[in-house]
Amino acid sequence: MYLSPIQKSSPVPKSILYLLVFVWTIVFLLAGLEQVHADSPYDTYLWVAKQMNIKTIPQMPEIRFVGKKELQKAFIKGNKESYMRWETEFGHIQAQKIMDRYLKVVVGLFIPKTETVYICNTLSPCRRAAVLAHEMCHFFQHIAHGVIDPNEYEADALHMVREKQAYKIEGQYQDSFCNAK
């Protein structure tokens, strides 16, 4: 009869040893995964900084996980100047339509004046973290390039460039953590 090294003279019960071998194997296999879903907003913040090649990490902005109504209120308050520009350029009715469109889809927001990030708390955990990554990108853009003056000639083009980068970061986060195969 052959005795394995575990069976020979082990003071620990075989079942415990087999469990330890199983756990060790799982840990070893998981260690091979490239990335793991961020555990905290700070982890997401650091991940975004790394993706954007931020060398000097500033203090993380305040993050508020809020309901949809509070998020919409923050959006309206944070975009008063844009709304006034829309009214001037397109008239009151069209400006209200633009605002209503934003209010329907907004799930995250960065307010530069207060350096506060708002994230809708009804999103799934991974989606919430991906939206946080998007808004953290806006925070780092703000630190690096300042506030976009809504009355500036190229404000819309600058806004679109920043949104494109933020959506890219959000997509990378989704692909890395939420859409794992």
What pLDDT, in 10s, does the model give residues 83-111? 998 999 999 999 999 999 999 999 999 99
Average pLDDT (65-81) is 95
Based on the fold, state whether residues 70 and 111 are members of the same structural domain: yes
Based on the fold, state whether residues 59 and 114 are members of the same structural domain: yes
Based on the fold, state whether residues 94 and 153 are members of the same structural domain: yes
Based on the fold, state whether residues 17 and 76 are members of the same structural domain: no
Q: What is the pLDDT of residues 36-51, one digit of tens each?
A: 456 799 999 999 999 9
Whether the predicted pLDDT of 32 surpasses 70? no
Contacts of 107 (CB under 8 A, 6+ apart): 71, 119, 120, 123, 131
Domain total of the chain: 2
Based on the fold, state whether residues 23 and 100 are members of the same structural domain: no
Residue 31: pLDDT band by 50, 70, 90 thresholds?
very low
Based on the fold, state whether residues 64 and 9 are members of the same structural domain: no
pLDDT at 17: 38
0.85 cut: is pTM over it?
A: no
Based on the fold, state whether residues 150 and 166 are members of the same structural domain: yes
167 with 98: CB under 8 angstroms? no
Instruction: Give the domain range for residue 91.
Output: 37-178
